[in-house]
């Protein structure tokens, strides 16, 4: 079974969205915010769109749906059941199939499994293939999703504790945005001796300079494949069980940690909440 993952850099926002297709040209679009670009790519490559999947209801992930369905009216719209009402309110097309944890999305040789990954929104979903995780706005390079627009940091913490932690280090993840530069700078403001983050920040700065006037180069930047194992080595949101990280947050941001501990069931959750709050204001 061969599934190709194409990464498309939106021309109208800072989003990245994804197209999955097989050797016979059958395709699934994930979060096509830039409808015109999605349609142009599908037609240029001679692909037949069979389904669109939205990971959550935010406009920067569903904004291109109507343009895509105008060009490919036979395609189906799939979305997480919890976020479906907001998705339908934001466009003219009704959701054809509501998705639940464990469901399969299968089109030809393309097959991914639905993971419930709430937190960024109440009904956020992610898609897991054999070696690929399309994480939407749940996981980013060096960070996690913002919870300020309908989300909940405690719920997002539980997603990482119960769902993301169970996935293999070798899984490559594909986020909805590239916030690596700012996330790495944030990490080093808290952990100046974080050697993997230091190395990654140096590399990011080099490619950012090369990408400033070139969307293709920017796309190539995010296409440097990152695995969950890579993230677990340096991303503090994935290391909240590390006693040294927890103690460091208690020392440097004790008041915030204490406030978040009152909302938490464990120090790891308080650390996650503290990090998310600090990143919000950084």
One domain for residues 125 and 228: no
Instruction: Give the closest residue to 52 by CA, choosing from 82, 25, 74.
Output: 74
Classify strands 132-136 and 172-175 as parallel, antiparallel or unpaired: parallel
One domain for residues 16 and 152: yes
Backbone angles phi, psi at 226, to 5 degrees: -115, 140
One domain for residues 65 and 199: no
Q: Rounded distance, CA 97 to CA 95, Å?
A: 6
Indicate the SS3 state at residue 30.
strand
State which H helix or E strand residue 106 sits in: strand 104-107
CB 187 within 8 A of CB 236: yes
Per-residue H/E/C for 212-252: CCCHHHHHHHHCCCEEHHHHHHHCHHHCCCCHHHHHHHHHH
pLDDT in tens, 227-263: 999 999 999 999 999 999 999 999 999 999 999 999 9
pLDDT recorded at residue 82:
98
One domain for residues 226 and 165: no
One domain for residues 213 and 150: no
One domain for residues 150 and 211: no
Domain C-terminal end among 175, 195, 217: 175
Q: Rounded distance, CA 272 to CA 155, Å?
A: 11
Domain extent for 134:
4-175
Q: How many helices (H) and strands (E) does the chain have?
A: 12, 14
Domain C-terminal end among 129, 145, 175: 175
Domain C-terminal end among 111, 143, 175: 175
Strands (E), 151-218: 172-175
CB 144 within 8 A of CB 153: no
One domain for residues 217 and 109: no
The token pair at 10 is 């939106």
pLDDT recorded at residue 24:
94
Query: Residue 215's beta-bridge partner residues?
Result: none
One domain for residues 193 and 158: no
Number of domains comprising the chain:
2
One domain for residues 129 and 260: no
Edge-to-edge strands, sheet with 16-21: 4-9, 16-21, 26-30, 48-54, 76-80, 97-99
% of the chain residues with pLDDT over 70: 94
One domain for residues 159 and 188: no
User: Model's pTM, two decimal places?
Assistant: 0.93
One domain for residues 187 and 237: yes
pLDDT in tens, 116-154: 999 999 999 999 998 999 999 999 999 999 999 889 999
Q: Rounded distance, CA 181 to CA 209, Å?
A: 11
pLDDT recorded at residue 213:
61
Query: Residue 139's beta-bridge partner residues?
Result: 144
Q: Rounded distance, CA 116 to CA 158, Å?
A: 11
List of the chain residues with pLDDT < 70: 1, 12, 211-225
pLDDT recorded at residue 216:
45
- Calculate the alpha carbon distances from 39 to 27, 65, 66, 105 in Å: 12, 10, 11, 21
One domain for residues 115 and 230: no
The token pair at 157 is 């913490």
Average pLDDT score over the chain: 92
What CATH number does residue 82 fall under? Answer: 3.60.15.10
Residues listed for the chain? 282
């Amino acid at each position: 079974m061969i599934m190709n993952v194409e990464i498309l850099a939106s021309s109208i926002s800072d989003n990245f969205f994804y197209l999955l297709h097989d050797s016979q040209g059958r395709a699934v679009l994930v979060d096509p915010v830039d409808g015109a670009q999605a349609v142009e790519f599908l037609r240029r490559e001679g692909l037949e769109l069979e389904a669109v999947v939205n990971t959550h209801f935010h406009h920067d992930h569903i904004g291109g749906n109507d343009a895509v369905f105008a060009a490919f009216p036979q395609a189906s719209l799939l979305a997480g059941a919890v976020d479906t009402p907001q998705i339908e309110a934001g466009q003219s097309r009704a959701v054809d199939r509501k998705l639940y944890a464990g469901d399969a999305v299968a089109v030809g040789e393309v097959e991914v499994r639905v993971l419930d990954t709430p937190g960024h929104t109440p009904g956020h979903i992610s898609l897991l293939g054999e070696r690929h995780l399309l994480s939407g706005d749940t996981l980013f390079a060096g960070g996690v999703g913002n919870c300020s627009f309908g989300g909940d940091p405690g719920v997002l913490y539980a997603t990482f504790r119960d769902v993301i932690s169970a996935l293999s280090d070798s899984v490559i993840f594909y986020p909805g945005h590239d916030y690596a530069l700012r996330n790495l700078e944030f990490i080093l403001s808290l952990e100046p001796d974080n050697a993997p983050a230091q190395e990654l920040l140096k590399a990011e700065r080099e490619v950012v300079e090369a990408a400033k006037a070139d969307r293709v180069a920017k796309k190539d930047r995010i296409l440097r494949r990152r695995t969950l194992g890579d993230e677990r080595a340096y991303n503090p949101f994935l290391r909240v069980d590390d006693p040294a990280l927890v103690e460091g947050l208690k020392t440097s941001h004790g008041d915030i940690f204490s406030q978040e501990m009152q909302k938490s069931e464990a120090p790891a959750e308080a650390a996650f909440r503290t990090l998310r709050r600090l990143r919000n204001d950084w």
